[in-house]
Amino acid sequence: MMGLLAAAAAHPASHPAASQGTQSAIGYPSLFFLVVLGSLVPVVPTGALVSGAAVVAFHQTEPVALAFVFAVASVAAFIGDVALYWLGLRGVRSRNGSRWLHRLQQRAEQGTLERAERQLDRHGAAVLVLSRLVPAGRIPVMVACLLAEMPLRRFVRGDVPACLAWAAAYQLIGILGGSLFDKPWQGVVLAVALTVVIAAGPAVGGRVRKARRAHGDRPEQPRTAP
């Protein structure tokens, strides 16, 4: 998908109608598939894909291009979330659990999971909106919902606004990147870089906190007399 975005951005097309039709036929299905996949297997940079696609759409002449990106991204994220939650819920109700539930629990740090559980107790399904907007917040909140055995119907009601807000947020990043440069590929680079930095923030912060805790747990070395 990143290759498709780069190609679409680098060639604004000497024949706009033909080019935009080709981009729509290839780009939207690819965006849909990769966002669904990234929701199920959280290794695909879905935020970067949406932002990059928004940059390309921003530079097109079709007025509905941005609306298509928003619709495709939000629907794909919703389908991926619901499918993943359904698989995890089967594991919660099974005696032996499931590999999906086990993988989700492995990806959620204990401290983050405990905070997610407290937020779930206070705000209910509304916390799903925040979990989608906060980097690395989706999985801990989903695990908290699973452990609380939130019904699928209630999860769906909370996940609809969450996916809409997520798609809108990353599309705004793409629009910002696209508006700053005349050439689409420059906007794609900026938008992807911003989303990567945002996504890497929690991981870097976690490593810093672990390093500080490890440093604080070290016993002080006795000073020797001169």
pLDDT score, position 7: 45
Residues 6+ away with beta carbon under 8 Å from 97 = 91
pLDDT score, position 193: 79
* pLDDT, averaged in runs of 10, over the chain (226 residues): 48 47 66 93 84 88 87 96 91 69 79 87 89 88 90 94 96 88 75 74 54 54 50
pLDDT score, position 136: 83
pLDDT score, position 103: 78
Q: Are 193 and 179 in contact (CB under 8 A)?
A: no
* C-alpha distance from residue 21 to each of 13, 15, 61, 75 (Å): 11, 10, 11, 21
Domain residue ranges in the chain: 51-201
pLDDT score, position 44: 78
